[in-house]
Amino acid sequence: MSSKNTVHWLPIWHFIATSVILQCSSQVLGELQVPAMFVFGDSLIDDGNNNYLSSIAKANYYPYGIDFFQGPTGRFSNGKTVIDVLCDLLGLPYLPPYTSPGLNGTRLLGGVNYASAAGGILDETGEYLGERFSLNQQVLNFENNLDELRTLMGGERNLSQYLARSIVVMVFGSNDYINNYLLPPLYPTSYNYTPEEYANLLLNHYTRQILALYSVGLRKFVLSGVGPLGCIPNQRASGLAPADQCIDQVNQMVSLFNGGLRSLVQQLNTNHPGAIFVYGNTYGALGDILNNPSTYGFTVIERGCCGLGRFQGQITCLPFSVPCLNRSQHIFWDAFHPTQAVNLILGQRAFTGPPNDMYPVNVQQLAQL
C-alpha cells in the first residue's frame, strides 16, 4: 500500500466472503442468539431517528438507501449499516428507531435503535445541525422504555434476565471530533483542551453513561472505537493535507481516544466481573481496508460515491443526486460514511473477528456467554 493512504493498522486479517449477507434482504440469517440488541450512537448506525427531529442531519431521501430493500429509511448509507449486518448474524429483526411512531408493545422486544445523526458524547456536539439525541439523551430514551419492557416481561426478575442476556452496542466519538473539536470557528474545545485532555474529557463522560446502563441491568457491551477520520472524504477535502494523503494529525487525535477506550474496557471488565465489555477496533479494521483495498475488492479509496466538491466530500449527498455506479468498489458512500460493502466487512469482523478486531471476545462469543 502506498504512503498516500497510510494509517496505523494491525496485520491484515483475511476477510471471508460476504456473499451470503449480500443476498439477504429482510430475512434474518439464523436462529435467535440473543433476546435483543440495544444500540446507541451516531449517524454511522442511525436507522431513522433523525427523520422525526428538526435536523439538517437526515438521510431519508434518495439516493440514500438505493441498495436497501426498504429504500431510503434514514440510514446514512447506500444499504445496510453495521447494525443491520449484526442483526442478520444474530437472528434479530432489524431494530426499530426509538422515534418511530407506535413503538410500543412487542415491537420493543427485539431491541431498539437509539442512535442519532450528529449526536455525540458531549451534549453540545453537533448543535449547529439542529435537533439530535446526545449520548445522555439516548440513555434517557432507553430508560423511558424500561417500564413497558418490565410489563412485557411480567416483572423485575424476568426483565433482569432479559437485559443481562441482551447485547448493547455503542458507537460514539466521531461527531465529537468532526462536529466539535475540529470546528474551531463554532466550538472552543480545541483552544481549551489539548488532544489528550479532550480524549480524557470524552472518556469521562462516556464512562458515566456506560455505568448508567450497567446500573439498570445490562451486562453485555460492545464499545466501538473511532475510525481513521483523517481519511474520510470530508477531511481530505479540507485542504489540510496534500491531495493524496490522509490527515495524520486527525488520525493521531482519534487514536488517543481509542487507546483510552481500550484501556477503559480492561478497567470495566476488572471492576465488574458479572459483565463483559468489548472493545471494537474500528480504526484497525478500516485502516486495514484502506491500506489493502484490492484485497477486499475496492478500487476507489479517497472519494465519496455521492457528494459534491473535492473528493465528493465538501457537500454531502443531496436529494436526488446521481451516485456512482460502482458502489461496491467504493470505501466511502458520502463525505462521512462507508458504503454497504464496507459495513458488511466490518459487521462480519465484529461478529467473528480475532482479538485484534474485537477484544477480549467477538460478538458471536459474547452472545454465547
| Residues annotated catalytic, as ranges | 43, 334, 337
Measured CA to CA in angstroms, residue 25 lies from 67, 70, 96, 139 at distances of 10, 9, 16, 30
- Helix residue ranges, H only, the chain: 19-22, 82-90, 135-153, 156-165, 174-176, 189-192, 195-215, 233-236, 248-271, 282-291, 293-296, 340-352, 363-368
Residues 358 and 277: their CA atoms lie apart, in Å, by 10
The span from the CA of 115 to the CA of 170, in Å, is 9
Secondary structure (3-state) at 173 = coil
- What residue type is 251 in one-letter code? N
Q: How far apart are CA 60 and CA 43, in angstroms?
A: 12
How far is residue 108's CA from residue 343's CA, in Å, rounded to a whole number? 25
Three-state SS at 132? coil
Amino acid at 250: V
DSSP string, 76-98: SSSS--HHHHHHHHHTPPPPPBT
Intra-chain end-to-end CA distance of the chain, in Å = 38
Question: CB-based contacts of 312: which residues, under 8 Å, 6+ apart?
Answer: 233, 303, 304, 305, 306, 334, 335
Q: Can you tell me the distance from the alpha carbon of 78 to that of 333, in angstroms, rounded to the nearest whole number?
A: 7
Cα three-residue angle 218-222-224, rounded to 5 degrees: 140
- Which among 179, 222, 211 is positioned nearest to 83, based on CA atoms? 222
Which of 306, 128, 177, 283 shows the shortest CA–CA distance to 233? 306
Q: How far is CA 364 from CA 194, 360, 361, in A?
A: 38, 12, 8
CA pair distance 337, 360, nearest whole angstrom: 27
